[in-house]
Amino acid sequence: MKLSEAKSRIDELRKELEEHNRKYYVLNQPEITDFQYDILLNELDTLEKKFPEFIIEDSPTIRVGSDITREFVQFEHKYPMLSLGNTYNEDELRDFDARIRKSTTELIEYVCELKFDGASISITYENGALSRAITRGDGTRGDDVTLNVKTIKSIPHSITGKKLPSEFVIRGEIMMPRAVFDRLNEERTAAEIAPFANPRNAAAGTLKLLDPKIVASRSLVCMVYFLLAEELPYDNHYENLKEASEWGFTVPESIRLCRNIDEVLKFISQWDTPRKNLPYDIDGVVIKVNSLKLQKDLGFTAKSPRWAIAYKYKAEEASTRLLSVVFQVGRTGTVTPVANLEPVLLSGSTVKRATLHNADQIALLDLHLNDMVYVEKGGEIIPKIIGVDHSFRNETSKKIVFISNCPECGTPLVKNEGEVNHFCPNYLHCPPQLKGRIEHFISRKAMNIDGLGEETIDLLFSKNLIRNFSDLYDLKAEQLVPLERLGEKSASNIIKSIKKSVDTPYHRVLYALGIRHVGETVAKIISGKFKTIDDLINSDPEQLTGIREIGPKIAASIIAYLIDNENIEIIRRLKLNGIRFSEDTVTKKTGNTLDGKIIVISGVFLKHSRDEYKEMIENNGGKNSSAVSGSTSFILAGDNMGQSKKEKAVELGVPLVSENEFLEIIGEE
């Protein structure tokens, strides 16, 4: 590799790793797995060793990622909070052991601990009282989250004990039990808030909430793994942790004292299966030298202690043959390549298909038909192809190329600049897109038609009984009864439910039409300005863009929808069937405390749903808006409000109002 090439690859890797650090530590929304991250970091480390002239002090190989955020006050760590070197294989663990043994003639003991996957915390106690809890931050200083940490039941506020140092720091991992995580994500999905990717992100996100009451409701736990003080009770790590357990901290039962590296390896393999059934996620095992004296002799590198290492369990992978690639068209027209594989056993289940994500991924893998490919399955993610074993490549095998036309309707595919996915632009006639729009039309927040699910829609579609949602209103029970899976009773229920939907209010009908960029809020705003659909159809583009909440993108999408004759025909038929296309004039106004106020709702709430809050705002004279701007009066901020909204609010000085404060303002509490 030439110097210039090395330099540019190093720069590229640093930039990429820094961005992944930000996504992981600040946004709590990682895009790649730890394993993929470690591969990139390893490449950078190798290059820096080969080209030491390019080593800089704040390279991701030297500095730890930072979780520092603006909302909290930062404090310095009395003892820097470092990271751990890690490995995925046995040989490197044996190397670690050999290095340690070379440095001493004394007998070595290792402590093995499970590596809990959460957010790390450093808690200081003075004279037995919890005085401050700080996140890792950048390793030197971190965010003060004391109030939040004090809500965690397994962390004592005050302790007594014979061997208690007058001041000490205890470190541990804050985690969200998987059961709590599942429940939280269900709530978030129902409230149309992006669910957390995994319990680690949920725990880290919760720790950074501004309302400790919500933190308390999330049942976090803390497992401690490190005790620091000027004078510690014992001269070894193991006994110090056992002592901390006496003081009331949660020290995992799984911790083991091992006399040599073989016992360590045994511990690792013993936990390989049971780890999957723990109530918490763990991603490996931490191996620490037990003697504090030896720890001190071994010391630290800039980033991690030389006396400890993390062994990480790798997502399981298998190799198998690629039989074919099919292209699937999703409900919104996005085309996803999917690989059909020779069935292979992977983490206890048979894998026959794997996602290939997009055209870039296929090109990156340089995939050919009949290739032997590596498949990986991590957690609940769909299996994916992570590499090709080129030694098995047959000279004559055909290269996989991304299709240029939609496999469902033949329309040439489109890829927008800056986007990774191809999509089919034929939204009016491409079957999966048509079905997707019908599914949206019948959904709970739109027309709320019960008894019709995805499968029934597929069935009706395949029997040519419906082509678009206006066809639903022409269906007769007699047509449904003979269909597979549908009996007389469910057929008549479906018809009843369709009939009932004609009473759906105008703004929800507007939302149900599925006009791109017209969500519930925009639909409500439009229904307020254009009292009938004809007013909307006959409006000038200027009238639309004149509405403060409607930008050019939304306006263009509404106009494009309404100049399409096929859409107008659908609307005409819906009208004939009695669907409401005008606003009722009954108002439910209950107060005027919010007159003239423009309010943005963000986050999850405890006492009412987001929809209920939207309604309360309107009933009290306020207006809902989805974007934070200079004219936003305040943000009704729930738990976990979006990062970008938060940043914007700080920048523009828009106040945040909590759920309780809001209820007080409108006189509900």
312 is catalytic: no
Site for ligand IVH in 540-599 (CB under 6 A): none
Bridge partner list, 598? 623
Q: Per the structure block, which two tokens stand in for 27?
A: 């946004």
Of the candidate spans 3-11, 236-244, 303-311, 494-502, the one that interacts with ligand IVH by CB under 6 A turns out to be: 303-311
Pick the catalytic residue: 115, 312, 435, 645?
A: 115
Shortest Cβ distance from residue 510 to ligand IVH (Å)?
49
- Measured from each CB, the residue nearest to ligand IVH is 120
Binds ligand IVH by CB under 6 A, chosen from 184, 227, 265, 310: 310
| DSSP type of residue 599 | E
519 interacts with ligand IVH by CB under 6 A:
no
| Three-state secondary structure call for residue 423 | strand
Minimal distance, residue 66 CB to ligand IVH, in Å: 12
Question: CA 18 to CA 23: how far, in whole Å?
Answer: 9
115 scored as a contact of ligand IVH (CB under 6 A) = yes
Instruction: Tell me whether residue 171 or residue 218 sits nearer to ligand IVH (CB atom).
Output: 171
Amino acid residing at 465: L
- Contact flags string 72-111 toward ligand IVH, x per CB under 6 A: ----------xxx---------------------------
Exposure string over 479-491, b if 16+ CB within 10 A, otherwise e: ebeebeebeeebb
Range 594-616 burial, b when 16+ CB lie within 10 A, else e: beeebbbbbbbbeebebeebbbb
Smaller CB distance to ligand IVH: residue 287 or 570? 287
Q: Is 201 in the site for ligand IVH (CB under 6 A)?
A: no
Q: Looking only at residues 267 through 286 of this chain, which bind ligand IVH when binding is defined by CB under 6 A?
A: 286
Taking Cα atoms as reference points, which of 158, 172, 139, 119 lies closest to residue 58? 139
495 binds ligand IVH (CB under 6 A): no
Measured distance CA(124)–CA(126) in Å, rounded: 7
Smallest distance from the beta carbon of 123 to ligand IVH, in angstroms?
A: 13
Question: Of 311, 232, 297, 220, nearest to 265 (Cα)?
Answer: 311
Closest by alpha carbon to 440, among 509, 539, 542, 367? Answer: 509
Under the binding rule (CB under 6 A), the answer on residue 25 touching ligand IVH is no
Cα angle value 264/266/272 (rounded, 5°): 110
Is 112 an interacting residue with respect to ligand IVH (CB under 6 A)? Answer: no
Give the shortest CB-560-to-ligand IVH separation in angstroms.
50
Burial class (CB in 10 A: 0-12, 13-18, 19+), 148: buried
What interhelical angle do 552-562 and 565-576 show, nearest 10? Answer: 70
Closer residue to ligand IVH (CB): 65 or 333: 65
For ligand IVH, which stretch binds (CB under 6 A), given 96-104, 114-122, 230-238, 558-566? 114-122
The reply to whether 305 sits near ligand IVH by the rule CB under 6 A is yes
Neighbours of 588 (CB within 10 A): 7
Residue from the set 227, 287, 289, 308 that interacts with ligand IVH by CB under 6 A: 308
Contacts for 88 with CB less than 8 Å, ≥ 6 apart:
35, 38, 311, 312, 314
Q: List interacting residues with ligand IVH (CB under 6 A).
A: 82-84, 113, 115-116, 120, 136, 173, 225-226, 286, 305, 308, 310
Which amino acids are annotated catalytic?
115
